[in-house]
Structure 1
């Protein structure tokens, strides 16, 4: 969102940046106050797409037809054009990235203030051209960046999950997942805090594809593989190396972790997490089940209550600290846009890297790391046993379940809070449930 602000502002547009987590009333009030030409909304998580849908429906009910531009990692063009356009009486555009947004605004402002059919066609053509210019077919087919890299699902998989909302929880018939999988021994019960994680260890797990191509927008495009490698070596990596050193020197990133192991059993679509006595229920999660195919549900990957076996579940929450958010905001407010883009991208991917690092630690402590792939890139694509799932994604889409994770891990001890929208604060934080079952791989609910 801030990158859109930067790109549009530098190209002569006045952007009213309302910040994050805005209600539709705030958005419409600002639109009227500033007499804007268009409204932009961006979403990172599945829940964001549902909020966008509700916003568009309300705007239609009020008879509004202002041009709306939608973007963010939680969306793709198919979802916007096939699912959302029919809900809104006005002009609706999908912007793959900030440059798409610029092309769309240029097309809209090229004619009358009302978005005509010609403007629509021009904007769509410009957006398509921008996509073709900035991303090769190989990028579209193969790259997993940002949040997608963490969860191993492509954008269309997440938007299908958004259409299904929270998924079906009424059918509790268990899938064909092996109910007798070996249960590893937990190294301890309860949660612990780790506050002395070396930054070098974190940087070793940074997904450079996600950082360079996704966060920093250094994409291969029409360059040959050799030309792109030269670009990375000559321009990108020096920035990366200098920023890592500055982050260590000035304490801009402070990795901290809270994680733990808990006795658990499944019951239908529920995962029951017990106190240390392995009998007293502590919290209960309810997960959706696929309505077709294998009809998978996360609960299926744990021993059932009726089996009499007590399973183990792990949770973790990691952060690179509030200073990362503060410093990024300082750069943005002082118009240091390039530095903001670089540092914000590094801070987000460092949080992801810390999650990867601690996920590996959990696999080691459970005795599963012997199955880890040797190459880091393969680890980013689930080259291991013991997958991690984050709330807000297809298999566990209910963000409100973060409150239960907070009850288990007490992340306030590492400076992380939960917003009213059940999102982690600071934003350079991420949480997950780790499922040890050998069949547990990412799946969508549709």
Structure 2
């Protein structure tokens, strides 16, 4: 079993999971490391002299018996010190809207080349960027356009809301509760929770939250599947990695449009690197990450946005299909940023 992804670490996979799994389990930082592991595994099975799987990662710090964040919730229910006096913007509309036919030239400038070249394609050496990476990128972008493999679309919306404790409550037009999200709270430090970035229910004010689902469509997934079936693994990995990053680029592009629509795009960074470092007001949180880890909440976003209108559906495991799609909760609060939050014990 080869595992990877943002929620896992090498030590957790190769120590904790290795201890409880009867077979072999290894961590792969990216698809290219996964291929190297498979090459090593096949060599071992074929009896190639000297072939062996990599050594398991050993912890530098001894494992704690109890996780640092696995503590009881304080009884006082204290929230963080996030301001509740910031202006609440007025959205251009309430509810959701669909936008289709977004051209590649609109969101391609938002492509994170560092994440693509180093993370997805495994090109770590700087000298390979100009000689190999960018020519390959131009090749694939041209192929995507000539083959009409992209179907970029967005469904997004603005919804009235208030907060109560750790909950974000989405309101209906008459002020009644429509649905709610419950987010984890930090157990130390500022004790941040996503709900804190919205007006508390007792304030008597109504806030606004943005939601979005974006996709580059299913055609590109079909193309990558054909490459895989043809054993064109290098092309498969390059196109698959690019498709994932193009979905992220589309999400970044649309988030910028949301900031403009909310009137909070007055101090945008001049360079793209600043955008990737979130040097702007507000923040976009995708489901499954530390501040909003529960993938089940995707069902609530799907109910509010109805992303099937752009061809995006949820699996039974709450995964988005096509794979080249992302969802997000969009906050306007000037203090909003990325942070880790631990789950409470059941």
**3-state DSSP class of the match of 2:54?**
helix
Aligned pairs for 1:299-314 (under 5 A) are 299-314=195-210
| Offset at residue 259 of structure 1 (A) | 0.2
Q: 1:423 to 1:293 in 2, by over 3 A?
A: same
TM-score norm. by structure 2 comes to 0.87
Deviation at 1:394, TM superposition (A): 0.6
Structure 1 residue runs without a partner (length 5+): 1-39, 43-70, 113-117, 129-161, 221-227
* Structure 2 residue aligned with 1:192: 97
**What's the secondary structure of 1:372's corresponding residue?**
coil
Superposed displacement of residue 331, structure 1: 1.3
**TM-score normalized by the length of structure 1:** 0.68
Q: Distance in 2 between matches of 1:89 and 1:338?
A: 32
Give 1:338's match in structure 2, choosing from 231, 234, 251.
Answer: 234
CA deviation map 1:172-229 (0-9, x unaligned): 4311111222111111100000102111111111000111111111112xxxxxxx24
The answer on whether the counterparts of 1:169 and 1:269 sit within 8 Å (CA) in structure 2 is no
What is the aligned length?
A: 329
Aligned with residue 261 of structure 1, among 143, 154, 158: 158
Cα pair distance change 1:103/1:324, threshold 3 Å: closer
Task: From 115, 124, 128, give the equivalent of 2:55.
Answer: 124
Q: For 1:31-42, list aligned pairs within 5 A.
A: 40-42=1-3
Match of 1:212 in 2: 117
The one of 235, 243, 258 aligned to 2:140: 243
In structure 2, relative to structure 1, the CA distance for the partners of 1:250 and 1:369 (3 Å cut) is: same
- Aligned match of 2:187 in 265, 288, 291? 291
**CA separation of 1:390 and 1:72: change in aligned 2, threshold 3 A:** closer
Shift in alpha-carbon separation, 1:163–1:189, aligned structure 2, 3 A? farther
**Structure with more helix by fraction:** 1
Q: Distance in 1 between matches of 2:166 and 2:216?
A: 34
- Residue 281 of structure 1 is aligned with which of 177, 180, 190? 177
Q: Does 1:105 align with 2:41?
A: yes
The 3-state SS of whatever aligns with 2:55 is: helix
SS in 2 for 1:258: strand
- Per-residue CA shift, 1:302-330, capped at 9, x if unaligned? 00010011000000000000111111111
Q: How does 1:407-426 map to 2 (within 5 A)?
A: 407-426=303-322
User: What corresponds to 2:88 in structure 1?
Assistant: 183
8 Å Cα contact 1:253-1:347 kept in structure 2: no
Q: Give the match's secondary structure for 1:315.
A: strand
3-state SS of paired residue (2:254): helix
Offset of residue 95 of structure 1? 3.3
Tell me, yes or no, if structure 1 residue 202 matches structure 2 residue 99: no
Residue 170 of structure 1, CA deviation: 8.8
Which residue of structure 2 lines up, in the alignment, with residue 52 of structure 1? none
Within 2, Cα distance between the matches of 1:249 and 1:415?
22
| Aligned-pair CA distance for 1:76 | 1.7
Which residue pairs with 1:428 in the alignment? 324
Distance in structure 2 (CA, Å) of the matches to 1:310 and 1:83: 45
Match of 2:27 in 1: 94
Aligned counterpart, 1:131: none
SS in 2 for 1:80: helix
Of structures 1 and 2, the one scoring higher in RCO (CA 8 A, sep 6+) is 2
Listed as ranges, the matches of 1:55-70 within 5 Å are none
The answer (yes or no) to whether the contact 1:317–1:432 under 8 Å persists in 2 is yes
Give the alignment partner of residue 372 of structure 1, picking from 241, 250, 268. Answer: 268
Residue 266 (structure 1) shift = 0.1
Match of 2:63 in 1: none
Aligned residue for 1:123, secondary structure, equals coil
1:139-154 equivalence runs, <5 A: none
Asked whether the 8 Å contact 1:297–1:395 carries over to 2, the reply is yes
Residue pair 1:168, 1:290 contacting (<8 A) in 2 also: no
How far the C-alpha of 1:237 sits from its partner, in A, is 1.2
Go from structure 1 to structure 2 and tell me whether the alpha carbon gap of 1:302 and 1:170 turns closer, same or farther (over 3 Å shift).
Answer: farther
